[in-house]
Amino acid sequence: MAVITNKWIGTEFFKVNDFNHIECYVGNAKQSLYYYSAVMGLKPIAYKGPETGCKDSVSYVLNKNHINLVLTTPLSSMHPASNWLLKHGDGIYDVSLNVENAKEAYESCLNRGALSASDYQNETTENGDYNTASIKTYGDVVHSFVENSNYNGIWAPGFEKYQGANFKSYDTKLIRIDHIVGNVEENKMNYWRDFYENIFGFANFVVFDETDISTQFSSLKSRVMRSKNWKVKLPINEPAQGLKKSQIQEYLDFNEGPGIQHVALLTADIANSISSLRKNGMEFLNVPDTYYDDLLSRIGSIDESIDLMKELKILIDRDDDGYLLQLFTKPVQDRPTLFYEFIQRKGSQGFGQGNFQALFEAIEREQDKRGNL
């Protein structure tokens, strides 16, 4: 891993506060609502659909602390999400950013060469002003800009309070989005690094190459972009040449192009989070017991019980700033595309470089089961 610098080397063209939400296009939002509520532990808070005046789609909003997830299903073949789903299957369409000024962010990006996905819209309602616009990024993913500091509605204009069933689940204690990872085609990673540098003014602060992330059979390259305040971190992966098919190439094949590979969710108590998620029915990649044989000699002492980490199959890595604990799910839909990571940081701002080989090998075992290695 090459850490370029932890100092700010970008250019803040406009103020990005945080991730606002992620929006998933799904084939059946009602069923997906159950999964993300009962398994992930998110709470439904808002709804938009025919009952609220929206005739061509339904959307549910789920929340937990600073995590916001929107699930959208088209009700007509004419809705853009229908073609999106036909091509990609269930996945993330919008990585939304909360900004200080949506119009400024949108126009600033267009002036530097970004392509519009939706025009700037100012909605003045009895609940205040809600301003949005969006631009295109890799594949069929967009970044919407949301300015809602003066808005006090349940979610956004057109949404009403969720009145449906609530689902029991163990508390997963998730806090916020830590980072969101995209996969792009071979030899396109640097193009998109430049995009985030030149359009957003983000800084490239970490570089991984095939010597950092590889196994006997496959490898990948990655660049990590971030906002000035560290709230938005966006790793970008591309496949690298290997003896067999990279997990990144498998994703690109099944997603039929670039897109969002995984979302990392932060917790302050990963043992509790993983235990609850397992009880709720979440499926994780398997970590072999041998990973823990010489763990202390590799990472030094930690606050947590090694026996408990082994029982829960949690991965651990250390760098100069501290250590982190993480675990990855299996894909959460039938196509081997989108999955989730759960991460606890104890000083480290890294991404678990020391776990890359164990993670890659676990993913390759799943690829082999699917006949895609």
Q: What pLDDT is attached to residue 4?
A: 63
CB neighbourhood size of 88 (10 A): 23
Q: How many residues does the chain have?
A: 373
DSSP string spanning 243-299?
SS--HHHHHHHHHTS-EEEEEEEEES-HHHHHHHHHHHT--B----GGGGTTHHHHH
In this prediction, residues 271-275 reach a mean pLDDT of: 98
Those residues whose C-beta lies under 8 Å from the C-beta of residue 177, and which sit 6 or more positions away, are 19, 22, 66, 67, 263, 264, 265, 266
Q: Is the pLDDT of residue 39 over 80?
A: yes
Helix/strand number for the chain, H first, E second = 9, 18
At 165, the pLDDT band (50, 70, 90 cuts) reads very high
Strands (E), 26-165: 43-48, 57-64, 67-74, 91-99, 116-125, 128-136, 142-147, 160-161
pLDDT, mean of residues 13-18? 98
Q: What is the pLDDT of residues 212-251, one digit of tens each?
A: 655 565 567 889 999 999 999 999 999 877 656 778 899 9
pTM of the predicted protein model: 0.94
Contact in structure between 107 and 13 (CB atoms under 8 Å):
no
What pLDDT shows up at residue 332? 97
Which of the 8 DSSP states describes residue 331? P
Neighbours of 216 (CB within 10 A): 12
Given a cut of 90, is residue 68 above it in pLDDT? yes
Structure confidence at residue 372 (pLDDT): 72
What's the confidence (pLDDT) of residue 371?
A: 82
At residue 281, does pLDDT exceed 70? yes
Q: Which carries the bigger pLDDT value, residue 289 or residue 176? A: 176
Percentage of residues of the chain with pLDDT beyond 90 = 78
Given this model, what pLDDT does residue 212 score? 63
Are the CB atoms for 295 and 316 separated by under 8 Å? yes
Beta strand 174-183 with 233-240 is parallel
Q: What is the mean pLDDT of residues 203-211?
A: 81
What is the pLDDT, as a whole number, of residue 203? 96
Q: In the structure, what pLDDT confidence band is assigned to residue 56 with cuts at 50, 70 and 90?
A: very high
Confidence of residue 133 (pLDDT cuts 50, 70, 90): very high
Give the burial class of 260: count Cβ atoms within 10 A of its Cβ; 0-12 exposed, 13-18 middle, 19 or more buried.
buried
Give the confidence band of 211 by pLDDT, cuts at 50, 70, 90.
Answer: low
What does pLDDT average to over the chain? 93
Residue 195's Cβ-count burial label (10 Å; 0-12, 13-18, 19+) is buried
- Which residue segments constitute the domains of the chain, with CATH numbers given? 16-161 (3.10.180.10), 171-370 (3.10.180.10)
pLDDT bracket for residue 163 (50, 70, 90):
very high
CB burial of residue 179 (10 Å; 0-12, 13-18, 19+): buried
Confidence of residue 176 (pLDDT cuts 50, 70, 90): very high
The token pair at 46 is 């808002």
Angle (deg, nearest 10), helices 247-255 and 356-370: 50
- Asked if residues 265 and 68 have their Cβ atoms less than 8 Å apart, the reply is no
pLDDT of residue 206: 86
